[in-house]
Structure formats: structure tokens, C-alpha cells
Chains A and B, each alone.
Chain A
Amino acid sequence: MRERGWVRALQSRIVSQSLVVASDVQRRAQTMRWVARAIALLIVVAVVARAVAVSLTEGYPLTFWASQLVNGLVLGGVYALVALGYTLVYGILLMINFAHGEVMMIGGVAGFFALQLAQALGWMSGPAGLVALALLAVMGVGMIGAMLTGVTLERIAYRPLRNAPRLVPLISAIGASLFLQYSVLLIFGVSPLVYQRPALISGGFRIGPVFIPYTGLIIFLTSLALMGALFVIVQRTRLGRAMRAVAADRDAAALMGVDVNQIITFTFLLGSALAGAAGVMLGFHNSVIKFNSGFIPGLKAFTAAVMGGIGNIPGAMVGALVLGIAESIGPSALGIPAEYKDIIAFVLLVLVLIFRPQGLLGEALAEKKV
């Protein structure tokens, strides 16, 4: 009897102790959150102040800002297409497809060959309608090339590891990314593959004093169209519903008769197709594609996906546009050399992850996702 009383006393002590600890932890978390918000506010104020000061002292004309904004939107369109691939895969597999940027690059390479063929057949110098069709075909080939790459990648490098601890597929993805990059380097050599723009889409037009290149306009509009198509597929079709079901709960979806493997393959197909389109458009915009063309844009697109809230489709688009604009306006607005524009993306990524890990549009994620 006495022993039991002793045990009970100890139990109640432990319970009360842990309650104290729990409330203490909660209070600390609350204060930490306020501190974080205050710091975030300070950073925002500092950045804005700096931008205002620089723009007042440097006195760039308004057209300069406008054309930078156009650049940013174009860049954002490309990032958005790639970011959607990250978000789709992450939503379903909870893994970062580190090699997604390379899928985009390979789409660009495949598009290059289609373009060469179209040029050899003389389609690129024909009437405007033919050229437009040929350009669509080039993009289609790029998308198919990227789709093949993406699906093969999933099959070889990710599927056997689906139940492994989380670091394992990530390392495999890093390996796959390097493998694809350096295979392209070995196969196609160091010299970049040059995209020759047909006359139809070279040049541009002016809105007032702001010059808008045709490729930029096309990229932006195509990105919007493809994103709309994706949205319809995910929200309105049976496959899309199955995708959302697998993302919500893979096991439950399987029990409801969804073929999980098929859905995952389909997800990779969709994401890779968008990336392939982005690769071809990037090729036309930058005029070149080479083995590492996908790496940095891939990282940026990932940043965009995280900024928008990973797993969230509209979030990826918003994040990508914000990132694209921040990157093209940032260096001049903050008065830092343009070489540092890559830093802006990474700093933004770190800031978002620290202060708003669920992203700009994201719902509060469960702990396991962060």
C-alpha cells in the first residue's frame, strides 16, 4: 500500500512537472514567433529603405524599371513551369526531385534536335503559319524528350527507394542530376547547342518606350496556357482527382482502387512535360543550351516552389513570378552588382524557410513536411 502511494505521488509529480514544461515550451515558442516576426519586419523595412534610397540616388528612368519588370515576368514564367514539376512531385512523394532541372535541360536538348531537323527541312523559313506549327512541334519534341527522361528517372532512381529513409532517395536524386548533366556533357561535348531563332520570333515590339522581345511574350503566354492546362488536368479530370488523392494519403488512395504507381508515373510525366517546354523556351530565349543550363534554373525553380508553398500549385506560380521579378529588379534596386543575383534567390529561400516555412500561399504544413 505504501509503495503504491509513493508511486502515485511520483506520477502526479511527473505529470505536473511535464505540464509546467509543456506550458513553458509553448510560451517560449510564442515569444520566439513574435521575435521572428519582428526580425522579419525589420528586414523588410531595411530592404525597402535601401531600395528607396538607391532608386533616389541612382535615378534610373522609369522605362528601365519597366523593362526589368518585363524580364522578371519572363524569367518568372520559365521558373513557374519548372517549379510546378517540383511541387507536383513533392506533393505526392514528399521528395525533392533534385534532377528536375536536368529534365528541363534534356527537354531543351531534344528540342534542339527537332529544331535542326525543321531547319534542314526548310520549315523555319517558310510562311508564318508553317513556322508557328514547326515551333510547336519543336516544343512538343522537347516535352516528349523530357517526359521520357522524367519517367525513366523515376523508374530507375526513385521507385526502388520509395520506402527508404528520406536521405536515401535525395542522395539518389543528386546522383541522377549529376549523371544526366555530365552524360550530356560527354555526349554532346563542351560547346553549347545553339538555338537559331527563326525570323518570325526574333526581334520584338515596343509598348511606349519599353522593348518587349517576342520570345519573352511567347514564353509568358505559353507558360500561362500550360499552367491553365495543368490546373484543368489536376482539378477536373479523373487522373487529377487520383493524383490529389495520392497526395493526400497514398495508402488510403491505394485502398480505394487508385493505382499508385501509375499515378506517380503520370505525375512525373506532367511535371517533365512542363519542364521540357520550359527547356525549349529557355533555349530560344537564351539562344543556347548546354549541360549545366538546367542546374541553376532548377535550384531557382525549387526556391520558387518553396516560396509559394511546396505542394501548392498556384503557390508555385506566384512564387516563381515573385522570384523572377526579385531577381531582375533586385540587383539594381538594392545597388548591388549583377553578379550577385544568384544570391538573392538563395537569401530569399532562407528567409522564407525561416520566417514563413509554409510559403506565401501555403497552408500550415504538418511537421513532417518541413
Chain B
Amino acid sequence: MTATTRRDPRGIHIGLIGFGILAYLTLIGLPGRFGEAAPFVMAIVTAVIVALALRGEAQRHPPATVMRQALIAGAVCGALTAALVGIFAALLGNGVRVQPVLDKITPPNVAAWYGAPVLAVARGQLGAFDFLRPFLVVLLGGVAGGALAIALHRAASRTRDERAPAWTRWAVIALPFVLLLAVVVLGQPAVTIGGANKGTIRLLLAMLAIAAGLFAMRAANPGREQSAVAIALLAGLAALPFMLDQFQNAVMGIVFIFVMMGLGLNIVVGYAGLLDLGYVAFFAIGAYAYAFLSAPFSSPWFSQQLAAWGLPTDQPLLSFWQAIPVVMILAAIGGILLGTPVLRLRGDYLAIVTLGFGEIIRLFMLNLADLTNGPRGLLNLAPPTLFGYNLGNPRDIFILALLGTAVIAFVAFRLERSRIGRAWVAIREDEDAAQAMGVDLVRIKLMAFAIGATFAGVAGQLYAARQVNIFPDNFSLFVSIDALALIIVGGMGSIPGVVLGAITLKGLPEVLRGVDEYRIVLFAALLVVMMIVRPEGLLPSERRRMELHGEAEAAPEQAS
């Protein structure tokens, strides 16, 4: 690698990779999203790519070499990008309709690259200099990236030996409360912040407050200090639903329903290491069970049966609270029924078979029209009530989700440290060794499936009550993927990780409007990147971190 600096193949290489990424972003229509800011954003993207790619070079080579490579990377990347965008602009300017094939290559998207008016592109009125602009933008980004790489290297070598001073710990602990305070202050009608949307910012702050709270718990010293922080944080969390408005509460409600579900999946995947891709099945069982119990009239077959038994069909069979144990039992039975056939399967096979189960359940929901009313769904589910009060509004659903999360998190926390929890970890690490040590594999695995399913079932019930009407499409494969992604991003086997993951993956997209279209691509890329960079997640459990890093120590030797 040292001898190759003369001809700088690394700069060209980085330029090609950068071009690949920029071309991809253009094809999925990202520049158009940013409008006038697009050149700036694209320059930043280039800078980040180049800085990441040259991070290692900055350690080994003098700044001049790094800058030269950055310049070459920027030039290669810029020339190719400008050529690609130029071709699109020329096509559009000559009235060729690209869109039937390349969906996002529209005049606004291409014009964003030039910082030019849309009509200029559509009518082919771009000047010669305009065609150079993407090149200059990317070139500047590349050079900035080189400078950034050097700066990062300098900063890293300066702070390497310094330990964080004591006050940072207190700052971390104080941060969630400061953020909560900001939520309250911004909630006052008198406070305004320019033209920005106050509601979105408050929602973002509330989510950041919860996330910061998780880190504050980590930062606090175990013992009395940690308990005090925990109690203060719980008080803050309990107050949160009363600080937020309808929309904000609705978002937080769905986030915490996913936390409930994620905690269940965390038991199956995180603790017991059984990769279940059909987890949505249990969520769906919970939701449909509650639907049958609370709106029997919308299921043709079920209402017929009830009528045959002489029971009334026009009102809920059981209230929300009475339905909880029934849903739990049904979901647990579902977990055992789906878990039994796959007891002998491991890892990848388990993943595919459970994925199949998830699809089968969805196909049944769609096609068993007599029972589930097919794609028309089950309608008019009863909201939860308490002493005659309707708890169906977003704030109360959020409170219920918080309560459910608290109960489930407590159970999961205690289970993790119980005999069963240790057995789960044992089968995750080495099934054969665990069996040799006397772990009853059948019982322990079924326990994991049943308990995980129970949690998902309750989450599904709450979800159904929140939605009022449920359809098979609510329970697609993507619910499983979402749940899996959130526990992976948060940190498998870590309860605070699940909360952080749900906020990152379910909450933040609600704040960042316009990202919705890119949500799945973003998730998917995040899954791959997480696995490569930080497979233990953002807030890993201690044990998991040690496991994954024990193996990772050996890996870089081969990779480099």
C-alpha cells in the first residue's frame, strides 16, 4: 500500500465509489428533495465519503499526499457525476421522457444539481458553465473531505489519551431533564421560534429526551445514584403524555407499541438467539383475537357462530381489560404451535421457516374471508375504557403503551436474570454445550417462543385498539423487519436498546418528513452498515459486546 502513492490509484478508487453513491442518490431522487440546497448537500455527502475513505490514509501519510488523493477522488467523482447528470439534463432538455423507466429523473431533480430553475432544464436552456457546476460542487466536496480526514486524524490523536472530565458525566445525566424542560417551554403559546414548525421540534426533543435518559442511566453510578436517576426519569416519562399534543402523542404511542413488541422479539432473538422473521404472526394473532372479541359483528363466520349459541353479536364479548388474558393465552398457544415444528432448526433455517409462517398467517388473513373478512378487514373495534372513560384517544393510548412497556420491561428484566434467562443465553451461545449441561432445549426454546409471542400479542391488542379498524396489510413482513431492525440497531439482548431502536427507527422518520419514501432503503442500509461497523448495536448489553468483540479482534487481521 505504501508503494502505490505515486500513481494514486486509491484516489481514483475512492472517486469511483463516490460516483457510485452519488449516482445512486441521484437515481432515487434525493437531490430533488433538497431543492436549492441540493448542491450543498451533495458536496457534504462527497466530503463525508472521501473523509471516511481517507481516514486511514491520514494516519499513514503526510497531509499533502492525503490532499492530493482527495483532489483526485473529487475530480474523478465530479467528472463522472457531471457527465451522468449532464446526460440526464440533455435528454430532458430535448424532450426525451426518461421517467417511464427511471422514475426519479425528473426536471426538478436534475435542476437541483445545477441550482437552476426547473424550466431551464425542461426547456434545455442550460449554458455551458452550468454543465460544469456539478463537477465543481463535487470537487469542492472532495477537497473538503480530505481536509476533514486530516482534521479528524489530528483531533483523534490529540484527545486519545485524555479521559473525559467528571462534569461530562453529570452533563449526560442532566441532559434528558434539560430536553424535557425545553419541551415544556416550547409548549407555551408565547414562545415561538421563527417560522419553524414548533410541533415537530417538540416531538423531536421529546424523543431525544427519552434517548438521552437511556444514556443517563448508563452514565449514573450503579447503586443509589442510579436509582435516583431512574425514579426522576420515570417521573419525567410519566409526565410526557400530558405535555404533548394529539399528533405527538399518536407518534409516541406507536413508538412504544413497537417497544412492547421489540421487547418480546428481544427475548426470542436477543436472549435465546432464535432468529424469528415471522414475528408479526403473533402481533397479528393478538390484534385479530382482540378484534374478534371486541367486534364480533365484523367477522361473518364468528358472528354466525355466536348467534347459533344465542349470544349477542352487536356488542363486544369482552372489554379491553378482560381480553388481555385471553389474548395472552392465545398468543402463547400460537407461539408454542409455531415453535414446536421448528425446535430442531438452527440459525438460517429457522429464519426462513419463520418467515414462511409469517407469510402463511398473512395469506390466511387475506383469504379466510369468512373468518377475517379478508382485505376488507375487521372494523369498529372497541376502545379501552376505564370506569366509563374512553381511553381511545392518542394520549391515553400512549399512556397505556407506556404502562405496557413498563410491565413487559420489568418482566423481561427479571427473566433475563432468572434461571430461564441464563438457559436462554446458554442455548444462544452453544446449543450442544447447553444441552450437555442439562438445559432442557425443548422446554426452554418453547418458553422463549411463548413469552415472546405473549408480549407481541399484547402489543398487537393495543395496536388494534388504537387503529380501531385492522386490515391484513397492517401485518405484513415489514412489521417483522421493523421489529428486528429496531432490536438490532438498539442492541440485541438489551432492554434500553429496544427503546432507543424504536425511537430511532419508528420515531425519527415521523419527524423527518419526506423521508418516508426512503425509509425502507435507509433501514436496509442501516442493517448492513450496523452489522459491519457495530454489530452489537447502539446500546449493547455488556455480555453481547464482549461476545462480538472477542471475535472481531481476530477478524481485522484477515480483512486488511
Stretch at the interface among A175-183, A232-240, A268-276, A281-289: A175-183
- Whether a CB of chain B sits under 8 angstroms from the CB of A208 is no
- In the assembled complex, the CB of A87 is this many whole angstroms from the nearest CB of chain B, namely 13
Interface size on B, residues (CB 8 A): 57
Q: Which of B185-193, B252-260, B400-408, B549-557 contacts A (4 or more CB under 8 A)?
A: B549-557
Interface size on A, residues (CB 8 A): 53
How would residues 327 to 371 of chain B score, 1 for a CB under 8 Å from any chain A CB and 0 otherwise? 000000000000001101111110111011101100100110000
A47-55, A64-72, A312-320, A338-346 - interface stretch = A338-346
Chain B nearest CB from A156 CB (Å) reads: 7
Q: Tell me the smallest distance from the CB of B346 to a CB of chain A, in Å.
A: 6
CB distance from B407 to the nearest CB of A (A): 28
Interface locus among B3-11, B23-31, B51-59, B141-149: B23-31
State in angstroms the CA–CA spacing of A367 and B433 once bound together.
Answer: 13
Asked whether B488 is an interface residue with its Cβ less than 8 Å from the other chain, the reply is yes
Q: How many Å from the CB of B496 to the closest CB on chain A?
A: 20
Complex Cα distance, B345 from A165, in Å, reads: 17
Interface flag for A96 (CB, 8 Å):
yes
Partner of B525, one of A179, A190, A354: A179
**Bound complex: CA of A222 vs CA of B104, how far in Å?**
35
| A212 at interface by CB-CB < 8 Å | no
Check if B558 sits within 8 Å of A170, measured CB to CB. Answer: no
**In the bound complex, do residue A370 and residue B346 qualify as a contact, i.e. CB atoms below 8 Å apart?**
yes
Residue pair A164, B101 in contact (C-beta under 8 Å):
no
Q: Does A357 belong to the interface (CB within 8 Å)?
A: yes
**CB of A43 to closest CB in B, whole Å:** 12
Report yes or no: A182 in contact with B348, Cβ–Cβ below 8 A: no
Q: Are A164 and B555 in contact (CB under 8 A)?
A: yes
A255 in contact (CB, < 8 A): no
A-B contact count (CB 8 A): 151
Do A187 and B353 touch (CB < 8 A)? no
CA–CA, A177 to B484, complex, Å?
14
CB-based contact A346/B527 at 8 Å: no
Q: Which residue from chain A places its CB closest to the CB of B555 in the assembled complex?
A: A163
Partner of B29, one of A186, A303, A353: A186
Q: Is B432 an interface residue (CB 8 A)?
A: yes
The answer to whether A350 touches B528 (Cβ under 8 A) is: no
Interface secondary structure of B, over-half rule: helix
Q: Is B517 interfacial (CB 8 A cutoff)?
A: yes
Per-residue CB contact flags for chain B residues 530-543 toward chain A (1 = under 8 Å, else 0) read 01100100000000
Q: Which residues of A sit under 8 angstroms from B345, Cβ to Cβ?
A: 353, 370
Identify the closest chain A residue to B533 (Cβ): A160
Q: Is B103 an interface residue (CB 8 A)?
A: yes
Q: Are the C-beta atoms of B360 and A179 separated by less than 8 Å? A: no
A37 within 8 A of B: no
**Given A339-B363, A342-B359: A302 touches B352 (CB 8 Å cut-off):** yes
Task: List residues of B (86-134) whose CB comes within 8 Å of A's CBs.
Answer: 99-104
B357 contact set on A, CB distance < 8 A: 346
Decide if A96 touches B348 in the complex (CB within 8 Å): yes
B341 proximity list for chain A (CB < 8 A):
350, 354
Q: How near does chain A come to B445, taking the closest CB pair, in angstroms? A: 14
CB <8 Å contact, B353 and A299: no
Do A340 and B347 have beta carbons less than 8 Å apart? no
Chain B residue with minimal CB distance to A191? Answer: B100
| Chain A residue at smallest Cβ distance from B347 | A166
Q: How far is the CA of A370 from the CA of B342 in the complex (A)?
A: 12
How many Å from the CB of A164 to the closest CB on chain B? 6
- Do the beta carbons of B524 and A182 come within 8 Å of each other? yes
**Contact of B444 with A by CB under 8 A:** no
CA distance A193 to B101 in the complex (A): 8
Q: Is the CB of A182 within 8 A of B520?
A: yes
Residue numbers in A under 8 Å from B293 (CB-CB): none
Give the complex CA separation of A165 and B492 in angstroms. Answer: 13
Known: A186-B104, A188-B101, A299-B352. 5 other contacts (CB 8 A): A113-B101, A160-B555, A166-B347, A189-B104, A339-B366
Q: List 25 A-B contacts (CB under 8 A).
A: A157-B532, A161-B532, A163-B551, A164-B531, A164-B535, A166-B347, A168-B531, A172-B532, A174-B351, A175-B526, A176-B524, A178-B481, A182-B524, A183-B521, A186-B29, A186-B104, A189-B99, A190-B103, A299-B352, A303-B352, A345-B356, A349-B356, A350-B342, A353-B342, A353-B353
- Which residues from chain A sit less than 8 Å from chain B, CB to CB? 95-96, 113, 116, 156-157, 159-172, 174-179, 182-183, 186-191, 193, 299, 302-303, 306, 337, 339-340, 342-343, 345-346, 349-350, 353-354, 357, 367, 370
